[in-house]
Amino acid sequence: MRVVIQRVSQTSVTVSGVVKSSIEKGLLVLVGIEEADTMEDIKWLSSKIIGLRIFSDKNGVMNLAVRDVSGNILIVSQFTLHASTKNGNRPSYFKAAKPDVAIPIYEAFVKQMESDLGKKIPTGAFGADMKVSLVNDGPVTIIIDTKNKE
């Protein structure tokens, strides 16, 4: 699994002109799934995201996690995170899992994140053409890949 995490002051996902989900202070998590992803990847990644200390404490130091600031999380599937641009200028997505594999992994990831955070997590619409709006707070953007644990 590969994720791009952005600390946001607000974010929303619109599908077909209708806002599907939105949050205020928290994290926007864009997630790409590959066929080799497992429940171990899901658990490790969820724990890592929930524990990331990227919110400022009273001294202005990034020392608090999303749970510490009563923040929210919005999760959006994004297969293009597995784009390969090695050959030519047209990206290849051969590492991205097909929907029949990706959807159950995505749903398990959302459930694990909800369990770890202790509250419902809004999402985008898997496979839909989505418009994602956000105000990146900082800016703070972090990329994590479960295959190299960084």
Known catalytic residues are 80
Let me know if 143 is exposed, middle or buried by CB neighbors in 10 A (0-12, 13-18, 19+): exposed
Query: Phi and psi of 65, rounded to 5°?
Result: -95, 170
Structure tokens at 85: 């641009």
Cβ atoms of 30 and 3 closer than 8 Å = yes
Percent helix / strand / coil, the chain, rounded to 5: 25, 40, 35
